[in-house]
Amino acid sequence: MNKLLEVDNLSIGFTQYFKGLKQRKLNVISDLTIDLYENEILAVLGSSGSGKSLLAHGILGILPPNAEVNGLMYYKNEELTDELKEKLRGNTISLIPQSVNYLNPLMKIKYQAIGYIEDESLKNEKLKKQEEIFERYNLDKTVGDMYPHQLSGGMARKVLISTALLNNPKIIIADEPTPGLDKKSVDETITDLIDLKDKGVSVILITHDIDTAIKTSDRIAILYLGYIIEVTETKNFKYNNENLLHPYTKALFNALPENGFKLTNGHQPSYLNIPKGCPYQDNCEYKTDKCLKKVPPLVKIGTSLVRCYYPIIN
Amino acid sequence: MNKKVLYFIRNKTIHFILLMIAVAIFNFILIDLSPIDPVNIYLQQSSVSEAQRAALEQYWGVGQPITTKIWNWLINLLQGNLGTSLIYRVPVSQVIIEKFEASVVLMLLSWLISGLIGFFLGVVAGKNRDSWIDKIIKIYCYILQSAPSFWIGLLILIIFGVELGWFPIGLGVPIGTMESNVTIWQWLARLVLPVLTLSLVGVAPIAMYTRNELVEVLSSDYVLFAKARGEFGWPLIERQALRNILLPALTLQFLSFSELFGGAVLVEQVFSYPGIGQTAVAAGLQSDVPLLLGIVLVSAVFVFVGNLIADILYYFVDPRTKENESFDV
C-alpha cells in the first residue's frame, strides 16, 4: 500500500502572556509522528483538550498566526509546504468539522456545501452534485435551502460529511464527529466513515471516543500529552491486551467496560508541567531513572510503534 | 400578512402612542416649571394696558391649574394645532416643515456618507487587524469619538472656510440674495462643510463597531472551516463575513438617528445653517415655547422612526429571527 501522508516530529506551541507581561510557552503537541496509507482509517486517539484538532489544522495549514510549528509533513512523498497545503486543502484534503458551529449561520446550506466557486456554470454543476450527495445521505431536498440553525444534530453531521465529499478528496480528516450524538447517530457515523473508506478515501479520525475508534479504524495512534506514545493495529484492541505495548495503552484497554473497568490512579498532567523525560512517567509503574531523563524515541516493534524504554512484550 | 407582522405593527403602534403622550406631557411640565412668562415674551417689552394684559394672560392660560393646561395642550395636539411661533409669528407646524426640509438633506447626506465610509474603514481595519492601517483607523476613530462635534465643525470652518476659502463660512444662502434666486450650486456649496463635519463625526462609531464585528467573525469556527476548504482573501470576507456584519452595522446606523439629530443642532449652530437644529437653539434662547415643544415632538418622532427601522431590520432580515420569535411587550 502506498503512503499518502506522513507527519514527522510535528510540534505545535503557543506563546502566551500571563500575569501581565510575563510570557510562557505552551507546547500542545510535542512530538507527533503518524503516517496514513491509501484506503485506511487511522484513528488519532487522545483525551479531550489534548490539542487533537490542532493536528488537523496543522495538516491543512490553517493554524492561527501565533502558533509555532516545527517538524515536517509529506503528501505522497512530496514535502507539504504552505503552498502545497493551500493547493490541497478543500480539494485533496478535506475536513469534516466537529459541529454545526462550523457553518455560517447566515448562508443557505447548499451554498455552504459547494464552497466558493466563481464560475456560474461550474457552480450549477456542483449544486447538482450536492443534491445527489444529499440524496445519498437521505437528506431531504429542502435541506439545501435551510439555514444551519434549522438543522437537527444528525442532519448537521450529514451535511458536514457531504461538504467533504463534493470535491472527491483523497484524505478526509474527521475532527471529533461523534460527541454529543445519540447512539443511533453514532452508529450511522461509524457506517458513514467505513463507507468513505470503501469509496477509496483515506480517513484520519480524530477522536477521544475509543469505542468509535475501535469500530471504524484500521490503526490507532495514541496521543498522550502531545506525544504519540503508540501506533498499533486496531485488531490488537479487540480480544486481549497481549499485543498492546505501552503501559498507558494497556491501562486504556483494561479500563474499557468489556475488559473489567479497571481504573489506573493518577491523571494526565497539565500542558504547563510537561515533565522532562517520558510524558507518562507520573503514572507509570515501570519507570526507572532513565525514563525521568530523556524522552524515549518512537521505536518499531512488530507492526507497532511505541515510545517506551520498557515496552510490555508478553 | 402573518400573525407575527400584525403583532409587530400592533405593538409598535402602542409604543409610539405612549411615547408621544409621555414626551408631550413631560416636556410641557418642564417648560411650565421654568421661569418663562409667555405674556412677557409675546409682548417683547412693548407697553400695554392692564385690560389688554389680562386678555393675553387668559389666552395663554396663565394661572390655570397645570392639569387643565396639559389637557388643553393635548387636545390641540390631537387636532394638529401646535400653536403659533413667537419668533416667526406663523404656525409652528409651518416653521418646522420648512426648517426640517433643510435639515433632512443635511442629516440624510451625512448619515449616508458616514455609514458608507465608516463601514468601509471598519472592514479594512478588521481585515488587516493589528497592521499599521488598522492602527491608523483606530487612532482616527478614537480622536473623533472623543472630540465634540462643534469643535470639529469650528476646525473645519477655520481650515476650509476661512484659511483656504474654498467654501462659504455659513448661512443657507448668500447674504443679500433672495431664497428664490439661489442657484443649486450656491446652495450645495453651503451644504458641504456641515455635511463634512457631521459625516466625520459619525464615521467613528460605525467604523469601530464594524471592525470588532469583523474581527469576531473572522475568528469564528465557520471562517476557519471556510479556510480549511480553500477560501481565502477578499472572496472569503465577501462570502462569509460581509452579510454577517452588514446587518448589525445597519441596525447601529439607524439607532444613531438620535446622535444625528443632536449633532445637527450643534453643527447648524456653528455654520449658521438655517435648519431645525439652529431653530431649536433659537427657540430655546428666545423662549419660544410653542416652537420648542413642537421641535421636541418632531425629534422624538424622528428618533422613533430610526429605532423602528432598526427593529424591522433586526426582526425580519436575519433568518435566525424569522421564526419562533414572539413580540411580547
Q: What's the ipTM?
A: 0.85
- What gap in Å lies between CA A302 and CA A311, rounded to an integer? 12
H/E element holding A74? strand A67-75
Contact A24, A178 (CB under 8 A): no
Contact A103 B319 (CB under 8 A): no
pLDDT mean across residues, chain A: 86
The answer for residues whose C-beta is within 8 angstroms of residue B165's C-beta and 6 or more apart is: none
Taking residues B93-108, what's their average pLDDT? 86
DSSP A296: P
In this complex, the residue of B220, B224, B244 whose CB is nearest that of residue A62 is: B224
pLDDT score for B323: 56
Q: From the list A60, A104, A149, which residue is nearest B240 (CB)?
A: A104
Gap between the terminal Cα atoms of chain A = 29
Q: Which of B213, B222, B240 to mutate to test the interface with A (most CBs of A within 10 A)?
A: B222
Burial classification of residue B49, based on how many CB atoms lie within 10 Å of its CB (0-12 exposed, 13-18 middle, 19 or more buried): exposed
Partners of A116 on chain B (C-beta within 8 Å) are 226, 229-231, 235-236, 239
pLDDT score of A258 more than 70: yes
Give me the residue from B221, B235, B318 closest to A97, CB to CB.
Answer: B221
**Can you give the C-alpha Rg of chain A in angstroms?**
21
Spell out the domain ranges in chain A: 3-39+49-92+221-306, 100-168
The mean pLDDT value of chain B amounts to 82
pLDDT at residue A225 in the model:
87
| B325: confidence class by pLDDT, cuts 50, 70, 90 | very low
What's the CATH number of domain A3-39+49-92+221-306, 1.10.443.10, 3.40.50.300, 3.40.50.720, 3.60.10.10? 3.40.50.300
Q: State the pairing for strand pair A304-306/A299-301.
A: antiparallel
Q: In a 10 Å sphere around its CB, with 0-12 CB exposed, 13-18 middle and 19+ buried, how is residue A52 labelled?
A: buried
Which of A181-190, A199-208, B104-113 has the lowest average pLDDT?
A181-190
Label residue B121 by pLDDT band (50, 70, 90). very high
Cβ–Cβ below 8 Å for A90 and B231: yes
Residue A46: strand pairing partners: none
Q: Which of A99, A104, A157, A172 would you mutate first to test chain B, the one with the most B CBs within 10 A? A: A104
Q: Mind giving me the DSSP string for A105-142?
A: TTS-HHHHHH-----HHHHHHHHHHHHHHHHHTT--GG
CA of B206, closest CA in chain A: separation in Å? 21
Find the CB nearest B227 among A62, A99, A163. Answer: A62
Element (DSSP H or E) covering residue A60: helix A52-60
Q: B147 falls in which pLDDT band (50, 70, 90)? A: confident
Among the partner-chain residues A89, A101, A147, the one whose CB lies closest to the CB of B229 is: A89
pLDDT mean over A228-238? 90
Question: What is the rounded (10 degree) CA torsion for B245, B251, B253, B259?
Answer: -140
Q: In angstroms, what separates the C-alpha of A63 from chain B's closest C-alpha?
A: 9
Residue A212 to residues A43, A45, A57, A225, A248, Cα–Cα distance (Å):
9, 10, 22, 21, 19
Question: Does A116 contact B224 at a Cβ distance shorter than 8 Å?
Answer: no
Candidates A89, A101, A163; nearest CB to B221: A101
Q: What are the backbone angles phi and psi of residue B286, rounded to the nearest 5°?
A: -100, 15
Q: Would you state the pLDDT for residue B72?
A: 80
User: Which of A102, A116, A118 is opposite residue B221, by nearest beta carbon?
Assistant: A102
Query: Which residue from B minimizes the CA distance to A146?
Result: B319
User: What is the distance in angstroms between the Cα of B154 and the nearest Cα belonging to chain A?
Assistant: 42
pLDDT at A265 over 80: no
Question: From the CA of B230, how many Å to the nearest CA of chain A?
Answer: 5
Contact check, Cβ <8 Å, B235/A106: no
Range A204-209 average pLDDT: 91
Q: What is the mean pLDDT of residues A186-194?
A: 86
Q: Which chain A positions have a beta carbon within 8 Å of B236's beta carbon?
A: 116
Kindly report the backbone phi and psi dihedral angles of residue B88, in degrees, each rounded to the nearest multiple of 5, phi listed first: -90, -15
Indicate the residue of A86, A95, A116 with minimum beta-carbon distance to B225.
Answer: A95
Write the pLDDT tens digit of every residue in B279-306.
888 888 888 888 888 888 888 998 899 8
CB contacts < 8 A, A to B, total 68
Task: Give the separation between CA B262 and CA B167, rounded to whole angstroms.
Answer: 24
Which residue, chain included where needed, has cell 433586526? B314
Q: What is the DSSP string of A148-199?
A: GGG--HHHHHHHHHHHHHTT--SEEEEES-STT--HHHHHHHHHHHHHHHHT
| Residue among B225, B232, B320 whose CB faces A102 most closely | B225
Strand partners, B305: none
The secondary structure element, H or E, covering residue A12 is strand A3-18
Phi, psi of A152 (to 5 degrees): -85, 170
Give the residue with greater pLDDT, B208 vs B101. Answer: B208
Indicate if the pLDDT at residue B173 is higher than 70: no
Taking 3-state DSSP, the helix, strand and coil percentages for chain A, each rounded to the nearest 5, stand at 35, 25, 40
C-alpha gyration radius of chain B: 24
Distance to chain B for A144, nearest Cα, Å: 15
In whole angstroms, give the CA distance from residue B42 to residue B57: 10
Model confidence at B327: pLDDT above 70: no
Mean pLDDT lowest among B1-10, B42-51, B228-237, B316-325: B316-325
Work out the average pLDDT over A247-275: 80
A89 CB neighbours in chain B (<8 A) are: 227-230
Q: Is the pLDDT of residue B328 over 50?
A: no
Question: Does the pLDDT value for residue B247 go beyond 70?
Answer: yes
The vertex-B238 CA angle with B232 and B241, nearest 5°, equals: 90
Highest mean pLDDT of the ranges A141-155, B58-72, B213-227: B213-227
pLDDT of residue B326: 43
- Mean pLDDT in residue range A17-25: 77
Residue B1: which pLDDT band, with cuts at 50, 70 and 90?
low
Which of B127, B225, B238, B325 should be substituted to probe chain A, the one whose Cβ sees the most A Cβ atoms within 10 Å? Answer: B225
- Which grid coordinates are listed for B36? 418663562
Which chain A residues are closer than 8 Å to B245 by Cβ?
A: none
Enter the DSSP assignment of A103: S
Residue B154 identity: L
DSSP string, B88-139: T-SBHHHHHHHHHHHHHHHHHHHHHHHHHHHHHHHHHHHHTTTSHHHHHHHH
DSSP conformation letters of B171-214: -SS-TT--GGG--HHHHHHHHHHHHHHHHHHHHHHHHHHHHHHH
- CA nearest B242 in A: which residue? A106
Q: Produce one character per residue of A71-89: b if its CB has 16 or more CB atoms within 10 Å, e if not.
A: eebbbeeeebeeebbeebb
Length of chain A, please? 314
Interaxial angle between packed helices B242-255 and B92-127, expressed in degrees from 0 to 180 and rounded to the nearest 10: 150
Tell whether the model's pLDDT for residue B172 goes beyond 70: no
- Helix (H) or strand (E) segment spanning residue A27: strand A22-37
Question: Is the Cβ pair B318, A62 closer than 8 Å?
Answer: no
Chain B residues near any Cβ of chain A (below 8 Å) = 220-222, 224-232, 235-236, 239-240, 243-244, 318-320
DSSP annotation of A303: T
Q: Which residue segments constitute the domains of chain B, with CATH numbers given?
A: 3-78 (no CATH), 92-321 (1.10.3720.10)
Please compute the mean of the pLDDT values over residues A263-282 and round it to a whole number: 80
**CA nearest B227 in A: which residue?**
A62
Chain A residues with CB under 8 Å of B317 CB are none
Does the distance separating the beta carbons of B236 and A57 come in below 8 Å?
A: no
A177 vs A221, which has greater pLDDT? A221
Q: How distant, in Å, are the alpha carbons of A93, B238, B324 from that of A118?
A: 20, 12, 35
Q: Which residues of chain A approach chain B closer than 8 Å at the C-beta? A: 57, 60, 62, 86, 89-91, 94-95, 97, 99, 101-107, 115-116, 118, 147, 149, 163
Q: Which amino acid is at B296?
A: V
Element (H, E) at B68: helix B66-78
Give residue A172's pLDDT: 92
Q: What DSSP element (H or E) covers A32?
A: strand A22-37
Q: How far apart are alpha carbons B152 and B197 in whole angstroms?
A: 7
DSSP state of A51: S
